[in-house]
Amino acid sequence: MSPRSHNLVFLGPPGAGKGTQAARWALRHGLAHISTGDLLRENLKDQTSVGMMAQDFMDRGVLVPDDVVCQMVRDRLEHQDTEPGFILDGFPRTVGQADALARDLARRHRPLTRVVSFAVREEDLVVRLAGRLTCGRCGRVFHQKSNAPKAQGVCDDCDGELFSRSDDSEETVLARLATYREETAPLLSWYRDRDLLTDIDASQSIEAVEGALERALECQ
Ligand code: AP5
């Protein structure tokens, strides 16, 4: 196995930069980037039964039921692009999901190699989410100040139109943070106990976080 054949989980609160770092790391190392938030938003856009069911949960900033999300990830892991390795971004988010994932990966003989925890102070997360801009065409993520596009409202990569996610409203962000504290934060000790967790200080610049990630994962 190449030192870069990682099966990774990026874990952290909303706005910690999981998606930003996962996109960069996946591109650099040829891994599949699997974001459950993105998969659910695609289902919503395509008006599938999963998307229509998930909408209400996402609008309220609470988690979509485990069985739905686990099945979605199971299906996605069947794709050939995951063979060199994958990054799960925003999954698992509950102990139930983590348990189901571990069993599924054991069946496939593809265990997780590392779980990276991205830590940022809550007040910074709120600022990050309030200024986030997402490309409607390719999904690339920007920030009005810290990661601004070259031209206002337009994606640097594909000229697509940038929009603010509806769940980045102040009220929904607070609900998402509470959901994280209650349901997802317990996964930190769950993975630490299994000797899989690496902590990253994600409050630094995007480039500094990327460097920290490189140093942390290259010694694995
Ligand atoms: P999801 O889309 O996964 O949202 P999230 O986990 O809340 O994470 P975000 O996408 O908000 O943040 P991020 O950490 O990726 O940060 P980003 O890189 O974009 O989930 C949405 C909803 O779907 C959930 O609420 C739930 O309902 C449902 N769902 C999803 N997965 C589920 C699951 N497994 N189970 C059940 N339900 C599920 O960065 C944020 C901003 O900060 C950007 O503007 C970026 O440019 C900027 N930024 C990034 N890094 C830095 C930096 N180092 N310095 C300064 N700015 C930075």
- Do the beta carbons of residue 135 and residue 161 sit within 8 Å? yes
Q: Is residue 46 part of a domain?
A: yes
Q: Is residue 142 part of a domain?
A: no
Domain membership of residue 26 as a residue range: 3-121+181-217
What angle, 0 to 180 degrees and rounded to 10, lies between the N-to-C axes of helices 66-77 and 95-107? 30
Say whether pLDDT at 184 is over 70: yes
Q: Is residue 165 part of a domain?
A: no
Question: What's the confidence (pLDDT) of residue 1?
Answer: 37
Ordered alpha helix ranges (H), the chain: 18-29, 36-45, 49-60, 66-77, 95-107, 122-130, 170-179, 186-193, 206-218
Q: How crowded is residue 70: how many other Cβ atoms within 10 Å of its Cβ?
A: 21
141 C-alpha to center of ligand 1: Å? 10
Residue with the smallest CA separation from ligand 1 atom 24 is: 58
Mean pLDDT across the chain: 94
CA dihedral 118, 119, 123, 125 (to 10 degrees): 0
Domain count, the chain: 1
Active site residue 76: no
Question: What's the confidence (pLDDT) of residue 218?
Answer: 79
Question: What's the confidence (pLDDT) of residue 2?
Answer: 46
Overall pTM > 0.75: yes
Residue with the smallest CA separation from ligand 1 atom 15 is: 19
- With helix as H, strand as E and coil as C, how does 72-92 read? HHHHHHCCHHHCCCEEEECCC
Q: Is residue 56 part of a domain?
A: yes
What is the average per-residue pLDDT within 62-67?
A: 98
What is the average per-residue pLDDT within 126-153?
A: 94
Q: Is residue 176 part of a domain?
A: no
Between CA 132 and CA 148 the distance in angstroms is 9
CATH code assigned at 72:
3.40.50.300
Say whether pLDDT at 148 is over 60: yes
163 C-alpha to center of ligand 1: Å? 15
Q: Is residue 172 part of a domain?
A: no
Between CA 73 and CA 107 the distance in angstroms is 14
Query: Which atom from ligand 1 is nearest to the alpha carbon of 90?
Result: 3
Say whether pLDDT at 209 is over 50: yes
Residue with the smallest CA separation from ligand 1 atom 17 is: 17
11 C-alpha to center of ligand 1: Å? 10
Q: Is residue 163 part of a domain?
A: no
Q: Is residue 31 part of a domain?
A: yes
End-to-end, the C-alpha distance of the chain in Å comes to 12
- Residue 82's identity, in one-letter code, is T
